[in-house]
Amino acid sequence: MPLLNISTNTKIKNEQILLAKSSDLISSLTRKPKNFVMVKLTHSLSMNFAGTNEPCAFIEIKSIGSLFPSKMSKPICEFFAAELGITEERIYVFFQDVDAKQWAWNSSTFG
């Protein structure tokens, strides 16, 4: 049930490798099974951050619990900086803890 949404203005050459590595990262950080992790990638976007269109990214993580922004921010920024060739100060990360009653899978909600 963790959802990782990656938006960036960089061009990703091998999308499947980035998706797999990102899934592993989020599964590890949230300690949730990989078979419940979804990763969405949108790249080559028109984006502007701090007044420029230099490489940047917006990383959004939604999950039912298991989010610890103060502990997760550093490894997430380091990972995407390395993978996308973006400096860490050009990455925003948004965490959202979702109520289990608001998240459904396989025809029913988790809560």
Classify residue 93 as exposed, middle or buried by CB count within 10 Å of its CB (0-12, 13-18, 19+): middle
What is the value of pTM for the model shown? 0.94
CATH fit for domain 3-109, picks 3.40.50.920, 3.30.70.1400, 3.40.50.150, 3.30.429.10: 3.30.429.10
Are residues 51 and 85 in contact, defined by beta-carbon separation less than 8 angstroms?
no
Name 82's Cβ contacts closer than 8 Å, sequence gap at least 6. none
Report percent pLDDT > 70 for the chain.
100
pLDDT tens per residue across span 21-44: 999 999 999 999 999 999 999 999
Provide the pairing of β-strand 104-105 with 91-97.
unpaired
Split at pLDDT 50, 70, 90, the class of 106 is: confident
